[in-house]
Structure 1
Amino acid sequence: MSQPRTAVVTGASSGIGAATARRLAAEGFHVFCAARRRDRIEALAAEIGGTPVECDVTSEPSVAALAGLVGERLDVLVNNAGGAFGSAPVAGADEEDWRRMYEVNVIGLMRVTRALLPALLASGAGTILNVGSTAGRVAYEGGAGYTAAKHGTKVVTETLRLELWDQPVRVMEIAPGMVRTDEFALVRFEGDRQKADAVYAGVAEPLVAEDVADAIGWMVTRPPHVNVDQLVIKPRAQAAQHKVHRQG
């Protein structure tokens, strides 16, 4: 009897991460749901038959514990843990916000990938999928810290692909545009619901987490010789970062 396919999803406690965990479970993966908020990942893991792992990607011991729990073999890693903090211009930037964004979106991604790469290689056909952003491709006012971090996600992905070109592992990135989730904008604007809602004001159909999870599910289930290097996904209403159709 063959072993069940396994997947790790970081940042699985909400939004794209939780939706991705559900989608991969539906595809037949046993999912390790990794995030800091244990109550949420325990509920999610119970729902999908996965394994909850309390994990902070900014902590080396925490990531080492994740790798120990996963074991010697892993089929898919979805580096989803990330976040945007603040929207100040460079002249008024908060150093701690920038540091936190780089720590989770770039260093955390590196830390988890480094820890789990041996298990991905051992599978004989591993997949690393990094959740980037259209912010990793286009600069915009008030977003320098986040766009710099997500450009980092993009470049780390490209470098990994070059470094692992002769190994049995694929390296992919999905770059979503406007996605309405319960927490992303709210966290960015430090709980200011009015500012968070203004991001999506008048947009009839922004993407939702399930749209991105659906694309991730497709990407990681292509035949092993097919590498979807990068997939940019936006709502129809968003032609570019600065050009969004708003009604009313």
Structure 2
Amino acid sequence: MNKIAFITGATAGIGEACAKKLAEIGFDLIISGRRKEKLEILQQELIANYQVKVFSIELDVRNQKEVESKIKSLPEKWNKIDLLLNNAGLAVGVSSFQEGIIDDWERMIDTNLKGLLYVTRAITPLMIERKKGQIINITSVAGKEVYPGGNVYCATKHAVDAITKGMRIDLLPHNIKVCSLAPGMVDTEFSLVRFKGDSEKAEQVYNGFTPLNAEDIAETVEFIATRPSHVNINDILIMATDQASARDVNKQ
């Protein structure tokens, strides 16, 4: 019987690449996201290309009642979750703190922080019951550093970094692995969302150097997920060769 992975934010970017990579190494998948049509397309692709079982859930992680209800209502054969990949997250806007847009703040806090809490709180009892499991939280270099215009986004990722450490301690007696995977610049929809659909500004972020891509992160997730049972990867910070810190990028 294949292991089961539950992925949030699976409809694009890192989440989609991780779904394909985990399917490739033999995981059955529960894929979740807000975009139903993209979920259905991805589900069909995964089944056709990798011959794995796939269960899709249209899910907004910001809605606690919806998260709890949909995870509680998983069919029995799907509730034995071996791996939770908390990938759903976003940055919105680059305003300085004193000019911050409250709606942007709330979207980031509700998705990056509260959404991760809701999903993990619903799934960890299922892992505890079986005395095994693994949680990988996609954090960010923004959880290690703070940069101009990043204020609240950085705060949410710092919080996730702290929560990950707390999870690792609290779940230690239950044989559950917990990892923080913190990427630097990855060429996905991330900047397009941050600049609210301005594709020109989004493209400028990655011009002049070779950033990471979603497949780079998926390969790292594969590494974490395939360590022997006695090995846990606590924390990985991964960046492009041309990036030394959140702000220092060697652009040609």
Q: 1:19 aligns with which of 17, 20, 44?
A: 17
Aligned to 1:92: 99
Residue 203 of structure 2 aligns to a residue whose secondary structure is: helix
Distance 1:4 1:67 in 2: 21
AA of the residue aligned to 1:206: P
Aligned to 1:54: 58
1:70 shift after superposition: 5.8
Which deviates further from its counterpart, 188-197 or 130-139? 188-197
AA of the residue aligned to 1:190: K
- Gaps spanning 5+ residues in structure 1: where? none
1:194 aligns with 2:192: no
Query: Aligned-residue CA RMSD in angstroms?
Result: 1.1
- Gaps spanning 5+ residues in structure 2: where? 48-53
CA contact (8 A) 1:7 1:74 kept: yes
1:6 shift after superposition: 0.3
Cα 1:189–1:26, aligned 2, differ >3 Å: closer, same or farther?
same
1:9 aligns with 2:7: yes
Distance 1:106 1:33 in 2: 19
Q: 1:134 aligns with which of 141, 145, 148?
A: 141
AA of the residue aligned to 1:176: P
Residue 21 of structure 2 aligns to a residue whose secondary structure is: helix
AA of the residue aligned to 1:44: L
1:243 shift after superposition: 1.2
1:222 aligns with 2:227: yes
1:104 shift after superposition: 0.7
The percentage of counterpart residues that share the same residue type is: 40
Distance 1:211 1:158 in 2: 24
Cα 1:242–1:114, aligned 2, differ >3 Å: closer, same or farther?
same
Distance 1:147 1:241 in 2: 11
AA of the residue aligned to 1:240: S
Distance 2:46 2:126 in 1: 23
> For 1:184-229, what per-residue CA distance to the aligned partner results, in whole angstroms no more than 9, with x for missing partners?
10110011112111111211x2100000011011101111221100
1:159 shift after superposition: 0.7
Query: What TM-score results when the alignment is normalised by the length of structure 1?
Result: 0.95
> For 1:72-91, what per-residue CA distance to the aligned partner results, in whole angstroms no more than 9, with x for missing partners?
41100000000000100001
Cα 1:176–1:242, aligned 2, differ >3 Å: closer, same or farther?
same
**Pairing of 1:229-244 with structure 2 (within 5 A):** 229-244=234-249
AA of the residue aligned to 1:62: E
1:124 shift after superposition: 3.2
Distance 1:32 1:19 in 2: 14
AA of the residue aligned to 1:60: Q
CA contact (8 A) 1:75 1:123 kept: no
AA of the residue aligned to 1:196: A
Q: Displaced runs of 4+ in structure 1, greater than 6 A?
A: none
For this pair of structures, how many residues does the alignment match?
A: 243
1:101 shift after superposition: 0.4
Distance 1:144 1:70 in 2: 41
1:116 aligns with 2:123: yes
Which deviates further from its counterpart, 62-71 or 213-222? 62-71
Query: What TM-score results when the alignment is normalised by the length of structure 2?
Result: 0.93
Residue 239 of structure 1 aligns to a residue whose secondary structure is: coil
Cα 1:67–1:172, aligned 2, differ >3 Å: closer, same or farther?
farther
Distance 2:215 2:91 in 1: 20
Residue 236 of structure 2 aligns to a residue whose secondary structure is: strand
CA contact (8 A) 1:129 1:172 kept: yes
**Pairing of 1:23-38 with structure 2 (within 5 A):** 23-38=21-36
Aligned to 2:159: 152
CA contact (8 A) 1:7 1:78 kept: yes
